[in-house]
Structure 1
Amino acid sequence: MHSLQFTAESSSNDVIERDFTVGGVPGVLWSPASGAADSAPLILMAHGGGNHKKHPAMSGRAGLLVTGCGFHVACLDAPGHGDRPRTAHDEAEIAELFRARTAGEPEGPIVIRYNDHLAKLAVPEYQATLDALQELPEIGASGPVGFWGINMGTAIGIPFVAIEPRITAAVFGQHWPDVLAEKARQITIPIEFDLQWDDEHISREEGLALFDAFASKEKSLHVNSGKHKDLPRFEADSAVRFFARHFRRAVTSPA
């Protein structure tokens, strides 16, 4: 088992931010500055493609969960992202993606293939990180755990959640059903799913097919007009309410 090593700490707006590594993989843990009771809920997040663990979308969502619900939130740099070096395979796939984009060719086949490769590496890293985080007294092994990942975060999250029984609620969205639909059929926990109706990369039919694949008895589809990068910010508030509802924590608005 890999141990967790904290490497830096800062505090702002009632949130403690602690950088850590688990088995050499860099991550960040956000927690309430006022402290939290034992076994406070933990939300694991995964960032989108080309981003990193402290991208504003990640830190913003973490802030909502920490200050609004008293949760702990953790995110890892995906392989080849953030503080992690790129391999020759990473460089080749990224170059191919930019070539297709410049040529006006579909990006989906490249993203699907590359994200699947990254997920195979990231899933065991998330399992090891969850093991290590649950050793912390402020989190513990008995508290509920959720997962939140959109875009590439969904590509990592669906295979992770499909094999991880400790995850009891999850938010996904904005990815193709190829590869992921089969794994989504193994997921029965409550799901909230985001879809952009005018996504220029993922068709409506593809987005709906992935949502439909989940075996969950409780699953909610959130559809908004707009292109791939136009996911409304209010969907983050909805996700917070979703986790608060399932983990029985009241949501309070930050002052």
Structure 2
Amino acid sequence: MNTVHFTAKTTSNGVVERDFTVGEIPGVLWSPATGPERAPLVLMGHGGGTHKRWPAMTGRAHRLVTGGGFHVAVIDAPGHGDRPRTAHDEQEIAALYRARAAGEPEGPVVVRYNAHLAERAVPEWRATLDALQVLPEIGGDGPVGYFGLNMGTAIGVPLVAIEPRITAAVFGQHWPDRLAGKAKQITIPVEFDMQWDDEHIPRESGLALFDAFASKEKTLHANAGRHKELPRFEADSAVRFFVRHLSRDVMSPA
């Protein structure tokens, strides 16, 4: 059975932050310092080349905790953060740098590598969810959401496609090539972010991935700007989205 082992704990500004491991998977769990005995859980996937404590992850987690009362969990993806890189990881990262230096499109390398990472990361996320739901403050029947952009979408779409415990998701900023088929299996509410002037992901590609989701309730947020210029207010929109779809389903402990 998968078990959460907490290794460190700090509290500030109403947020409890706990480092944990599930087997060899390192992660962070942010939680409200006060509030109901039970609260929904949001799983959050980080972007490529970053890690569980990247400023964007910490900032979004704090917004979700203080603005929605959620627990938020992030784990390092394979080859990221505190995870060692394999020879395959090194080869793909080198290929990305070569394409970037040559002024060639990065998409083909990123899509291929992210698909490989998703094959490794999806079982890890499911094991982590199993372990987190044993905690009394989360529970085995509590609502669960997923929030991940860029590589977080590449991992999140195949995860959500096969994980029935996740009932709402925020995705965005990725190509449809390896994800459209999985997106067609997703019927839960989805919010999707894209940059209209993205220099890496053509707007037609972003629209194609959004269109692929089979969800009856899905919302497209298209903002002017380049790939790294996603407005910070989209994080606040994600909080409102999860409040709308997760908080109404909170169940009291038996």
TM-score over 0.5 for the alignment? yes
Corresponding residue of 1:245: 244
Q: Which amino acid aligns with 1:22?
A: V
The answer for the alignment partner of 2:213 in structure 1 is: 214
RMSD: 0.8
TM-score normalised per structure 1:
0.96
Asked whether 1:37 is paired with 2:37, we answer yes
The separation in 2 between residues aligned to 1:117 and 1:135, in whole angstroms, is: 29
Matches of 1:213 and 1:247, distance apart in 2: 23
CA–CA separation in structure 1 for the residues paired with 2:36 and 2:23: 26
| Mapped partners of 1:186, 1:93: distance in 2 | 28
Cα offset, 1:143, TM superposition: 1.1
Ranges in structure 2 where 5+ consecutive residues have no aligned partner: 249-254
Question: 1:181-192, aligned counterparts within 5 Å?
Answer: 181-192=180-191
Q: Percent identity?
A: 76
Alignment length, in residue pairs?
A: 248
Distance 1:37 1:8 in 2: 21
Question: What's the TM-score, normalizing by structure 2?
Answer: 0.96
Distance in 1 (CA, whole Å) between partners of 2:35 and 2:11 is: 12
Spell out, residue by residue over 1:200-248, the C-alpha distance to the aligned partner (whole angstroms, 9 max, x if none).
0100110000000000000000000101000000000000000001123
The equivalent residue for 1:166 is: 165
Residue 35 of structure 1 and its aligned partner are, at CA, apart by 4.7
1:80 maps to 79
- SS of the equivalent of 1:244 reads helix
Q: Which runs of 5+ in 1 are unaligned?
A: 250-255
**1:130-209 paired onto structure 2 within 5 Å:** 130-209=129-208
The residue identity in structure 2 corresponding to 1:43 is V
Question: Who is 1:6 aligned against?
Answer: 6
Runs of 4+ off more than 3 Å: none
What is the distance in 2 between the residues matched to 1:196 and 1:35?
36
Q: 2-side partners of 1:132 and 1:211: how far apart?
A: 31
CA gap of 1:19–1:35, structure 2 versus 1, over 3 A, is farther
2: CA distance, partners of 1:6 / 1:81: 20
Q: Deviations along 1:58-77, whole A, 9 cap, x unmatched?
A: 11111011111111000000
Measure, in 2, the Cα distance between the counterparts of 1:114 and 1:36: 41
Displacement of 1:36: 3.5
